[in-house]
Every structure is written in structure tokens, then in C-alpha cells.
Amino acid sequence: MEQRVEESLGAVILAAGVSSRMGEPKQLLRLGGKTLLEQVLDNARNAAVDEIVVVLGAAAENIRQEVDLSRIKVVINSSYQLGMSTSLGAGLAALDPTINAALVLLADQPFVRPTTLDRIGGEYRRSHAQIVIPLYNGFRGNPVLLDRSVFPEVMALSGDVGCRAIFGNHLEGIVKLPVEDVGILLDIDSKADLIKFHRVSVGTPDESLLELADLDGREIVGDAAARPELIIVGQEPVAMALARLGALLNFTVTAIDPVLRVSDFPGADRVLHRLDFSRVLQSAERYVVVASKGRFDEEALEQALCTGSAYVALVANKKRGQEVLRSLELKGCAAEMLSRVQVPAGIDIGAETPQEIALSIMAAIVQARRRDS
């Protein structure tokens, strides 16, 4: 296959958000002597991209005054309050017509290395993919690269959704690229995150970032191997509530997430930051629940199905569930195997809150255990 050696790449940096959790513009928070946006800009400038577009919205004037945006195309998204899709559309529309593909960078991810951006661009040229998604330890991250052929579809999105919303329509055009850069998973989403990463800067080795991300697992001791095993992928509120219920019902609970804090899962026996089911206990009673809000759904379900889990469920609505199952079918998963996935997860009890959803899932697991015993 010939490489797209002449293809030109752009970078679209999304920096229009309100930063409501921070109480001040996140883009201007300082880390390692520079603002978050400056760090992201430096990463893009040091990569082999032909054009950089920055999309501003909230606090645009303050950002212009404090950040050097020379030789950068700046787009003001006056509709930023309508969600991320408006910034995506504005950024892609602003790219020069000669740009063949775009890396979509987030202003709160300062640790992505320029060499990683170049690897993603190189894979695009090599594979002729429509979409390139980077992976670290099996987990999907950002930035995502989009070929111009999908720009119109992304620009037609509405609401607070990102480009992931179109992935289900391009399953055969997606390439997932393993990279040795934990920065693709790390974002500054709260003041606690900022404090945690305050001592590091761009270029910090992965080992140091992982240590600060508090990814240390706990060894499973005692009678854990004799108990039924509950594996939870993700750290959403449903996942955390599920861990507590699992512990209450005497399950061995393993939580899996790339940037998981041990304190987030008081019910878990251990946490893992690698999506690798060979590292969990071998159990005849393994129950897997994927609650990653779309980040790692396909990868986690595929491993759960291939390791003989007694119960596999996905926390998602029916539409999203159908997209995930279709993706796995295209990858070669047998229909009989896919029929074992319960989606939406849990028994229908009209659950709405994360705690109620977790309760409905545990009820389904108990039901499956008693039926199989």
C-alpha cells in the first residue's frame, strides 16, 4: 500500500470551553511555568503539522491577551455554550482547503508528546485510514485524527458531543494505534488534577506521570480466589457504586481504568491501569461490567467475551450498544458470542440514578449466579 507522503496535516485545538468546575478559565491555568493552552500549542508547533487552528469561546479576550497566538489561525466560536460539536465544526471549517486531515487536540491535555502526534500522522499516511485513534495500554485516548472525508459528518453534529459520535459509521475506516505515551489519557479536569500534576512538565517520563496519577494497584489476599469475581471497567459513578455493592455481596472486585485513583473505589480489592484480562484472577465465576462511557467499550467487551466470563454487560443505551456489537461483529466476533452481552446492563427496574443502575446490574448478576448454580 502506498503511503500518503504528500498529504498535509492540520491541528485543531479546542479551547472554547467554560471550565465551570474550575471557576476560572482552564486554558490559562499554569503548569510548569506555562498555561495549559501554551503547552498544547508548543506540542502542536513541534510536530509536523502544516496548519494550526485554535478555537476560542469563553474568555476569548483574556486568552488572546495572555497567550502568544502569532502564526496561529484563531476562530471565535460564539456558540460555544451549545456544546463541543460547535467548536469541532468551527475548527474544521477554518482549515485551509489543502489540508487533508486534522488532529483534534484538547486544550486540557498538555502531556501529549509532539512525537506522538507525528506517529499518528505517520500511521494515517501509511494506512489510508479515515480515523486514527491512539491507544495506551489498550485504552483509547486523544488526539484523534480525522481524514477530510469525514469532516462534513463531524461538522453536522450538534450538542455536547465529540467526533466519537461518528465512529460507528466508519468502523472499517478506523485504525487504532498503540503508543508509548500516557499523556493521551491525562487531562486537567479539576483543581485536584492541577495540584497533582503541578510538579511535572511536558516531557516528563511516563513512569512519573503514572505515579502522580495514583495508578498503583492492590494485591489480592486472603480468600479472594474462592469468591466470585466482579470486574468493572471504567470509573464513572455507576462503576463506583457497583464496586461498593460488589464488596457488600462478598465479591472480589477488580476495577480497571487507565487513570484510576485507588481512593475512588473503596469497595475494590485492587485496581489495574492496563486493559489486560490476563492479569486478573482466573475464576469460574467472573462477572464483567463495562462502564467506560464509550472510551473502552469494544476493547473491554472483546477481552471479556474471549476469556470465558460468566456474565458480560455494557452500561449504555440501546443505540450505543448496537454500534459496539456491530463493531465487534466486523472484527470477527461470532454472533453467538455477542448474544451473551447484556445491553443495556441490568434488570429493568426503571433505574435512573447511578446507584439505582448499579443495583439493577447487581440484581442481574445475582440472578445469573443462582440460575447457573
CA 138 to each of CA 99, 174, 184, 251, 284: distance values in angstroms, whole numbers, following the listed order: 30, 15, 12, 25, 24
Which sequence spans correspond to the domains of the chain?
9-196, 216-372
pLDDT at 200: 55
- The CATH fold of domain 216-372: Rossmann fold (3.40.50)
CA 366 to each of CA 227, 250, 267, 355: distance values in angstroms, whole numbers, following the listed order: 13, 12, 18, 16
pLDDT at 194: 76
The secondary element (H helix, E strand) that includes residue 238 is helix 237-248
The CA-CA-CA angle for residues 92, 96, 97, to 5°, reads 95
Spell out the alpha helix ranges (H) of 49-150. 60-66, 84-94, 114-127
pLDDT at 4: 57
Hey, what amino acid is at 371?
Answer: R
pLDDT at 209: 58
pLDDT, block means (10 residues), the chain with 373 residues: 72 87 79 89 96 93 91 93 93 96 95 96 95 90 96 92 85 91 85 69 54 42 65 91 94 86 79 81 82 87 87 92 86 88 94 95 93 76
Q: What are phi and psi of 175, to 5 degrees?
A: -120, 130
Residue whose C-alpha is closest to residue 35's, from 6, 7, 57, 65: 65
Q: Out of 3.40.640.10, 1.10.357.10, 3.40.50.2300, 3.90.550.10, select the CATH number for domain 9-196.
A: 3.90.550.10
> What pTM, to 2 d.p., does this model score?
0.74
Strands (E), 20-138: 30-31, 34-35, 51-56, 73-76, 101-106, 131-136
What is the distance between the alpha carbons of residues 154 and 151, in angstroms, rounded to a whole number? 5
